């Protein structure tokens, strides 16, 4: 999964650096080898800061928790719930 965090002037002033740091920590702590992180210049969508691009799909109004959730939901799909067995 390729993630590009906008570090243009507007997004940076709205703490996009925290998003990058959060994702770097997730990558390190959860050993997410498939996560490729990049900074990117202004995406031209400054009004809806901060912007993050996940595999080419632009997401607006990001924050560290939302970005982390998208990455974890994509790379670590939740295990399916197993049906409970009835026991007597």
In the complex, minimum distance from the CB of residue 46 to ligand FES, in angstroms, rounded to a whole number? 3
Annotate each residue in 11-50 with x if it binds ligand FES (CB under 6 A) or - if it does not, as one string: x------------------------------xx-xx--x-
> Does residue 6 touch ligand FES according to CB under 6 A?
yes
CA 71 to chain centre: 5
Q: What is the DSSP letter of 33?
A: T
Task: Point out the residue whose Cβ comes nearest to ligand FES.
Answer: 8
> Does residue 4 touch ligand FES according to CB under 6 A?
no
Among 10, 63, 68, 74, binds ligand FES (CB under 6 A): 10
DSSP string, 33-87: TT-EEEEE---S-GGG-S-EEETTEEE-S--HHHHHHHHHHHHSPPPPPPPPPP-
Q: Which helix (H) or strand (E) is 67 found in, with range?
A: helix 64-75
Interface residues with ligand FES (CB under 6 A)? 6, 8-11, 42-43, 45-46, 49, 51
């Amino acid at each position: 999964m390729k993630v590009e965090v906008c570090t243009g002037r507007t997004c940076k002033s709205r703490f996009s650096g925290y998003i990058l740091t959060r994702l770097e920590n997730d990558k390190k702590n959860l050993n997410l080898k498939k996560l490729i992180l990049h900074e990117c210049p202004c995406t031209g969508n400054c009004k809806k800061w901060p912007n993050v691009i996940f595999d080419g799909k632009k997401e607006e109004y990001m924050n560290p928790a939302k970005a982390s959730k998208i990455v974890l939901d994509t790379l670590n799909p939740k295990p399916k719930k197993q049906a409970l067995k009835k026991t007597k």
